[in-house]
């Protein structure tokens, strides 16, 4: 069993390569076309209309006695979250690079992540039959721009013609790369005793350890090079491991709805054997559910099974509350975000005949399939906003609502998703049974800035035994929830919150009667008081709003630099380095995320259509231009004490 991901920058030919591999393995008789909209993995109507992959899809084929579960993933950066969810279930990857366009922005983002996760990866240089195809240049570019050791697995001939071919052969370059990481091979190299077997063994070992990356070339359209790639997949990538007799443990990477609206979870099993009718805990809450049906992937389709063992990917029915990222059975390590979160948001505008409840239900179901769109409901304005990676994703959400739910919607102008960081230290405290505190609780909190990228930390400066643990938990959970909306309405991050004071009224009762809630502290008292104390501490600390910044790379004719630089300045971009070679200029710098789309639209006109822009999230920077952006609140607004207490307690004081 091998769970294999196909990854690439958009339009490099991932889905076409998937079709070719399925055909070579004998799973399909005819190769589908992305342009014709009849590929096996792009099954959504929207994918076929647009010719791009939007959702990851699983398809299976046999390879020399090994069942390969192949997962085709989106290549457009707006759907990077879909790729992220797949990475944690893969044994190996084929990273596709176009022989015409070469290494692109998304290629580099993907390779950096694959290296960090240590996932064995083969490179496939596709489209060698296309006019303008390059092989040696792409090899050099892969070594330089991807910054990884590559092993050429052969040579390409007839580049740019229908007769282009890939000739497998391990040349001297392979020996140089492999000997750098293998002392035994280096010794044999010096002594002149290198054998094909020794070289091949080093290649297998180092590839499976993700130390080197073999490079193949070919054409998904003509089939050139795909047999060599299949042989490499079989020989060089590690098979799935896991003990079928161990404790049941799996991970959900995709959730979809069936024809009757039922939830179907796609899960990779890492240990044990899951069976139909098993009751199994899942998710953070360890909710228990009963598996009512299982299917596994086999020869291009999925088939019903009574069980799924470790190493396989299955579709599971019956777990109605399952979510993407949930552990099934024994918990695994907490899911880590490999890519930057969405940096944009937009308000959904319902059409004239759209029912608000139907829209909310539809968006909730979309959020089940893509949790990072993070619905935000503003009760006061009766508005729903969604988090986004870019304009293409917004168009896809709009089209999905129209096609799948019959809901016509529009969107407000996309705006950046900012964050707030404390400007200094602030502290506040309110004491139990002292006006104006209406809650039976004492809470004191201090907010301190923390290093960038550390998120939110919570600490105690009080004895853990000074009150029931449930009250400490209520304070910490409420602190984290309240920090979702700071002084300007943005999420507060990179801070440490310390509980400095605590106190409660012990459980009391009247004679011959039960528990008296009016005289005894409950978790609700701590949940009610904590936001008031925390925002007061934030007020005293002060916060600064930071906007998302993208790093960019622009390649354009050198004689267009005079037109480019003023446009970059107008967009708030800051070029850091400029290089000129062979009539081309390459600019690197940073630009506000909110301005990237406008820059993309202007670039062709500024560069005679020859300019290329690559960008990706880099960091958050303080807002220094114009008015500090604010975001409307969706909570009870603890910034306004009177309004908050009326909402929470129906009173305004003690």
* pLDDT at 168 exceeding the cut of 50: yes
* pLDDT at 511 exceeding the cut of 80: no
What pLDDT is attached to residue 626? 82
What is the architecture, at CATH level 2, of domain 348-409?
2-Layer Sandwich (3.30)
Confidence label for 316 from pLDDT (cuts 50, 70 and 90)? very high
Residue, of 338 and 236, whose pLDDT is higher: 236
The span from the CA of 390 to the CA of 603, in Å, is 17
For 288, counting Cβ atoms within 10 Å of its Cβ (0-12 exposed, 13-18 middle, 19+ buried), the class is exposed
* pLDDT at 620 exceeding the cut of 70: yes
What pLDDT is attached to residue 512? 52
Tokens representing 517 are 């809630």
What pLDDT is attached to residue 488? 97
3-state secondary structure of 469: helix
What pLDDT is attached to residue 647? 87
What pLDDT is attached to residue 520? 87
Q: What phi and psi values does residue 477 have, to the nearest 5 degrees?
A: -60, -40
What pLDDT is attached to residue 108? 84
Sheet strand arrangement including 441-449: 426-430, 441-449, 495-504, 456-460
Q: Could you please report the per-residue DSSP string of 172-227?
A: HHHHHHHHTT-HHHHHHHHHT---HHHHHHHHHHHHHTTS-EEEEE--TTT-TTHH
What pLDDT is attached to residue 42? 47
Confidence label for 338 from pLDDT (cuts 50, 70 and 90)? low
Confidence label for 284 from pLDDT (cuts 50, 70 and 90)? confident
Query: Is residue 166 a contact partner of residue 154, using CB atoms and an 8 Å limit?
Result: yes
Which of 246-250, 514-518, 541-545 comes out lowest in average pLDDT? 514-518
What pLDDT is attached to residue 345? 92
What pLDDT is attached to residue 53? 63
The span from the CA of 493 to the CA of 422, in Å, is 8
Query: Is residue 265 a contact partner of residue 316, using CB atoms and an 8 Å limit?
Result: yes
DSSP E strand stretches across 455-609: 456-460, 491-492, 495-504, 543-557, 574-581, 584-592
Do the first three CATH levels of 348-409 and 546-622 match, i.e. the same topology? Answer: yes
Domain ranges of the chain: 2-236, 249-329, 348-409, 420-541, 546-622
> Using omega within 30 degrees of 0 as the cis cutoff, is the peptide bond preceding 436 cis?
yes
* pLDDT at 514 exceeding the cut of 80: no
* pLDDT at 14 exceeding the cut of 80: yes
* pLDDT at 438 exceeding the cut of 90: yes
What is the architecture, at CATH level 2, of domain 249-329?
Beta Barrel (2.40)
User: What letter does residue 55 receive in the DSSP assignment?
Assistant: S
Confidence label for 391 from pLDDT (cuts 50, 70 and 90)? confident
Quick: pLDDT tens for 544-582: 999 999 999 898 999 999 999 999 999 999 999 888 877
Residue with tokens 């102008």: 413
Question: What does the CA dihedral 587, 589, 592, 593 come to, rounded to 10 degrees?
Answer: 70
Tokens representing 45 are 């109507």
3-state secondary structure of 145: helix
The span from the CA of 517 to the CA of 528, in Å, is 15
Q: Which of 315, 237, 188, 194 is nearest to 1 (CA)?
A: 237
Q: Does domain 420-541 have CATH number 3.40.50.2300?
A: no
Q: What is the mean pLDDT of residues 473-488?
A: 96
Q: What phi and psi values does residue 602 have, to the nearest 5 degrees?
A: -85, -25
Quick: pLDDT tens for 176-204: 999 999 998 999 988 889 899 999 999 99
**Cα–Cα–Cα angle for 444, 445, 451, rounded to 5 degrees:** 165
Which of 97-111, 151-165, 528-542 comes out lowest in average pLDDT? 97-111
Which of 172-181, 310-319, 609-618 comes out lowest in average pLDDT? 609-618
What is the architecture, at CATH level 2, of domain 2-236?
3-Layer(aba) Sandwich (3.40)
Q: What is the mean pLDDT of residues 534-548?
A: 97
The span from the CA of 487 to the CA of 52, in Å, is 41
Taking the CA atoms of 452, 456, 457 and 461 in sequence, report the sign of the dihedral they define.
positive
What pLDDT is attached to residue 171? 82
Widest CA span in the chain: 96
Taking the CA atoms of 601, 603, 605 and 610 in sequence, report the sign of the dihedral they define.
negative
The chain-wide mean pLDDT, for the chain, equals 88
Which of 117-126, 186-195, 203-212, 642-651 comes out lowest in average pLDDT? 642-651
Query: Is residue 118 a contact partner of residue 210, using CB atoms and an 8 Å limit?
Result: yes
Quick: pLDDT tens for 19-68: 899 888 888 777 766 555 555 554 455 555 655 666 788 888 889 888 99
Identify the CATH class of 546-622.
alpha beta
Task: Give, rounded to a whole angstrom, the gap between the first and last alpha carbons of the chain.
Answer: 65
What pLDDT is attached to residue 518? 65
Q: What phi and psi values does residue 118 have, to the nearest 5 degrees?
A: 70, 35
The span from the CA of 457 to the CA of 209, in Å, is 35
Tokens representing 306 are 């009574």
What is the phi-psi region of residue 415: left when phi exceeds 0, alpha when psi lies from -120 to 50, beta otherwise?
beta
């Amino acid at each position: 069993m091998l769970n294999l991901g196909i990854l690439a920058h958009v339009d490099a030919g991932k889905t076409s390569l998937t079709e070719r591999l399925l055909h070579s393995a004998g799973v399909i008789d005819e190769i589908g076309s992305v342009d014709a909209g009849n590929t096996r993995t792009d099954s959504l109507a929207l994918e076929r209309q647009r010719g791009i992959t939007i959702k990851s899809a699983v398809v299976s084929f046999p390879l020399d006695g090994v069942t390969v579960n192949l997962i085709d993933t989106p290549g457009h950066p707006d759907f990077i979250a879909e790729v992220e969810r797949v990475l944690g279930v893969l044994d190996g990857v084929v990273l596709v690079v176009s022989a015409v366009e070469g290494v692109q922005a998304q290629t580099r983002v993907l390779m950096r992540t694959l290296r960090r996760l240590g996932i064995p990866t083969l490179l496939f240089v596709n489209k060698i039959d296309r006019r303008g195809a390059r092989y040696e240049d792409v090899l050099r570019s892969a070594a330089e721009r991807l910054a990884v050791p590559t092993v050429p697995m052969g040579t390409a001939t007839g580049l740019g013609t229908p007769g282009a071919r890939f000739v497998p052969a391990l040349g001297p370059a392979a020996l140089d790369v492999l000997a750098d990481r293998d002392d035994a091979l280096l010794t044999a190299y010096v002594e002149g005793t290198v054998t094909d077997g020794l070289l091949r063994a080093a290649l297998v070992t180092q590839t499976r350890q993700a130390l080197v990356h073999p490079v193949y070339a070919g054409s998904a359209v003509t089939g050139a090079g795909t047999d060599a790639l299949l042989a490499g997949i079989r020989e060089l990538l590690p098979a799935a491991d896991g003990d079928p007799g161990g404790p049941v443990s799996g991970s959900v990477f995709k959730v979809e709805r069936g024809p009757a609206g039922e939830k179907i979870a796609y899960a990779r099993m890492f240990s044990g054997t899951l069976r139909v009718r098993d009751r199994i805990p899942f998710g953070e809450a360890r909710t228990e559910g009963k598996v009512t049906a299982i299917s596994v992937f086999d020869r291009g389709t999925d088939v019903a099974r009574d069980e799924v063992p470790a190493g396989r990917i299955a579709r599971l029915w019956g777990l109605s509350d399952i979510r993407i990222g949930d552990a099934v059975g024994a918990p695994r390590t907490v899911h880590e975000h490999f890519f930057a979160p969405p940096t944009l948001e937009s308000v959904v505008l319902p059409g004239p005949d759209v029912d608000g409840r139907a829209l909310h239900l539809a968006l909730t179901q979309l959020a089940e399939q893509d949790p990072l769109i993070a619905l935000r409901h503003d009760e006061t304005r009766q508005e729903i906003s969604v988090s986004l990676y870019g304009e293409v994703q917004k168009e896809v959400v709009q089209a999905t609502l129209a096609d799948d739910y019959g809901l016509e919607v529009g969107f407000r102008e996309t705006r950046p998703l900012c964050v707030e960081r404390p400007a200094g230290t602030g502290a506040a405290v309110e004491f139990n049974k002292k006006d104006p505190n209406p809650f039976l609780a004492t809470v004191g909190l201090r907010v301190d800035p923390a290093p960038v990228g550390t998120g939110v930390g919570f600490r105690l400066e009080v004895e853990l035994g000074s009150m029931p643990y449930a009250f400490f938990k209520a304070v910490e959970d409420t602190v984290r929830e309240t920090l979702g909306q700071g002084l300007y309405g943005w999420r507060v991050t990179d801070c440490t919150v310390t509980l400095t004071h605590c106190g409660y009224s012990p459980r009391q009762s009247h004679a011959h009667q039960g528990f008296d809630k009016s005289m005894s502290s409950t978790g609700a008292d701590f949940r009610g008081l904590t936001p008031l104390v925390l925002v007061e501490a934030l007020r005293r600390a002060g916060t600064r709003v930071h906007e998302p910044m993208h790093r960019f790379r622009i390649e354009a004719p050198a004689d267009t630099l005079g037109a480019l630089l003023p446009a970059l300045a107008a967009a708030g971009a800051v070029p850091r380095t400029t290089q000129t070679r062979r009539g081309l200029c390459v600019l690197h710098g940073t630009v506000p995320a909110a301005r990237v789309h406008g820059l993309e639209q202007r670039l062709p006109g500024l560069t005679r259509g020859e300019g290329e822009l690559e960008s990706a999230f880099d960091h958050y920077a303080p807002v220094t231009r114009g008015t500090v952006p604010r975001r409307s609140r969706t909570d009870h607004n603890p910034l306004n004490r009177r309004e908050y207490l009326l909402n929470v307690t129906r009173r305004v004081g003690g």
